[in-house]
Structure 1
């Protein structure tokens, strides 16, 4: 029997599928682990049975191992290469109207008028 540890990459075979995840019988071990539906892939998985099937060979990473219950949490997602849309990452997002040059200079010009308005409201 192999000594399994967190972070170890192991192979196995899908032995059961439920709505919440898939059970995997780990190779070279009499242990079984669970791939939660959220750990199948990067992104949304509506139906795990469309992503995994019984008897399918998978390579997974051990996310967690409960020493008391013996439960093993597995992930396919953690082994996937993440691809980013570089154009999206480099795109600047402005939450102000930067084209009109509204900033500290505009506030500085308006400050005296605002103070006058507030003093007028206070004295009423």
Structure 2
């Protein structure tokens, strides 16, 4: 089977570590559910949510291009996530400004003060400060 990001599959938990749970997807393929992807909110022990041998419904959230390691998530399935609008949401986010976007200062304050700052620094250097 060819796996793709966004696929929802059923697998079987084959191992649990403090950082996540290993899930077999087929006889030749396994993936990892990182502890942060097993449940919404803080998870102290993954063993409180998953047990070895348990069948789980998972979503593929990443496939490493070079190592072919598969990252899985249960958390994505707990609350519905509509992938069809994911790109739209990112495309139409409002630009965030550090200051008021109507103020067009840019580097002008630096340009206005640079000579004064250089002169003060040279005086300090000559004075041995």
TM range (shorter): 0.5 to 0.7
TM-score where L is the length of structure 1 = 0.62
Give the aligned partner of residue 38 of structure 1. 36
Aligned residue for 2:20?
21
Extract unaligned runs of 5+ from structure 1.
83-124
Give 1:89's aligned residue. Answer: none
Distance 1:37 1:18 in 2: 9
Aligned length in residues: 80
Normalising to structure 2: TM-score of the pair?
A: 0.60
Greater C-alpha radius of gyration: 1
Residue 48 of structure 1 corresponds to which residue in structure 2? Answer: 46
Q: Please give the alpha-carbon distance, in whole angstroms, between the structure 1 residues aligned to 2:10 and 2:3.
A: 12
1:30 and 1:8 map into 2 onto residues whose CA distance is 17
Once the two structures are superposed, what CA deviation does each residue of 1:67-110 show, in whole Å capped at 9, x if it has no partner?
2101000000000126xxxxxxxxxxxxxxxxxxxxxxxxxxxx
Aligned to 2:7: 8
- CA distance in structure 2 between the partners assigned to 1:67 and 1:22 by the alignment: 21
Q: Kindly report the root-mean-square deviation, in angstroms, between the aligned alpha carbons of the 2 structures.
A: 1.1
**Aligned partner of residue 41 in structure 1, secondary structure:** coil
| Equivalent-residue separation in structure 2 for 1:38 and 1:64 (angstroms) | 14
SS state of the match for residue 6, structure 1? Answer: coil
